[in-house]
Chain A
Amino acid sequence: MTRLSKEALELIARESSLDDATPEEVARLAGPVYAALGRAPPVEIGSHPLPGVAGTSGMSAIAKGMLVGFLTMGIGVGGYLASQRNARVPAPQSPPPPVHSLPPHPIVAANPPLALSAGPVASAVPRPAAHKRRPVPKPQDSSSAGIPSAPQEEALLVATAGAQLRAGNAAQALVLYERHLKLYPRGLLRHESTIGRIRALCRLGRSEEGRAALQRLPKSSNHADLERACGGSR
């Protein structure tokens, strides 16, 4: 077997580590990628040591934890639904049906794009055509077009987010709360969702954002508790 010469090995030893990306470079490169995906990069990118980079192992512990969390969430959702809608749920642990098998429904023209005008987290940048992602469910305005609100859907989202938060998956809870607020900016559970979002933000160490959101919230009995959760007011 032909081997690399001493000179070649020396060259590799001397220069190969210069190809490593710094966290700043990784963070900078995230900008265009996430812009093309239609969302902002999470704050974690570039601000923490990157796990699993040096080694040749597969998923990081975080990724594994996240997958476990998803499975847990699936089971939780199944259980929740089983208690509410026995006839509908085929099996609690069954995976969600493939999206492409869901029957398409035309959009009702009178239904305005609510999230683009009303929601605080409604900055959904249109996805580029080249990036073929599953169509994102359109937000619904229960008050403007006479369409009945969807308390069950809301409840499911908020309940699942709460379960994630209690299970310690604050990142996943935050995504679900924000999704709920985006889809149902005037929903029945928006207050609960906002409170949950604040808790999730503070658990993720984003206390500044949490406190800012808390200040926008009308005073309630939860205020002191939330302030404590976010490390007190400044």
Chain B
Amino acid sequence: MTISRDLPPLELHALHAREATEEIRFDEVYQETAPVVVRTLRRLVPTHLVEDAFQDVFLTVARRLEDFESRSTLKTWVIGIAVRVASDHRRTARRAERRLSALGREVAPRTVTPEQQAVRADQVRLLHRVLEEMRDEHREVLVLVELEQMAASEVAKLLVLNPNTLYSRLRAARAEFNGIVVRFRQGEAEP
């Protein structure tokens, strides 16, 4: 821990001014990007993980705001953080699910009735169900390009991908999305 009493006025003042400015800047960033972060997370992680992920995104933003170098737009930078946080949360949730399901097989069978399943499926919107079915890497690309309407070049930078890789992933993502939509529609049409 340090104390600033011994700092000369310039440094001390600079410290105060920078901290105050960072706080204000964070507030601005929050106001400007919170809605897009919520939107992106709702599409990238299951609903019950959105709030935790949201908090992690903005704690990361607060920690790294100083490092933002305007090489991308602020929105792109924050979305990049959201995508990485979402990926971490999905991975953690999957691990937890695997552990729980292994435990569940030994302890007690799942007791969700078909009626409950039907109700739950109705509550989750079709778009989210389709996205949930997609491979993680396809979902990210599709959400950013098709739903968030970001330029492919920007997405390639954000995901640290070669542009050709991005385009091929986007093609695959669209094909997967189309296929899942058809499958869901057919499922709905069945009596």
Contact = CB atoms under 8 A, between A and B. Distances in A.
A176 B17 contact: yes
Contacts of A70: 17, 21
Interface of A is mostly: loop
Contact of B10 (A89, A135, A179): A89
Contact of B9 (A81, A108, A176): A81
Contact of A12 (B25, B74, B146): B146
Nearest to B37: A21
Nearest to A77: B13
Given A89-B10, A96-B11, A4 B178 contact: yes
A90 to B, nearest CB: 9
A33 B26 CA distance: 11
A14 B128 CA distance: 12
A5 interface: yes
Interface of B is mostly: helix
A45 B24 contact: no
A8 interface: yes
A110 interface: no
Interface residues of B, number: 69
A207 B126 CA distance: 47
A60 B28 contact: yes
B171 A44 contact: no
Contacts of A1: 167, 171
Given A15-B125, A29-B34, A44 B27 contact: yes
Interface string B152-166: 000000000000000
A176 B16 contact: yes
27 contacts: A3-B174, A4-B146, A5-B178, A11-B181, A14-B127, A19-B43, A26-B31, A29-B34, A33-B59, A37-B26, A45-B27, A45-B30, A50-B31, A50-B32, A59-B73, A59-B74, A60-B28, A60-B31, A70-B21, A105-B2, A106-B3, A131-B63, A133-B63, A135-B1, A137-B16, A156-B9, A175-B20
Given A96-B10, A96-B18, A138-B5, 6 more contacts: A58-B74, A107-B3, A132-B63, A137-B5, A171-B24, A176-B16
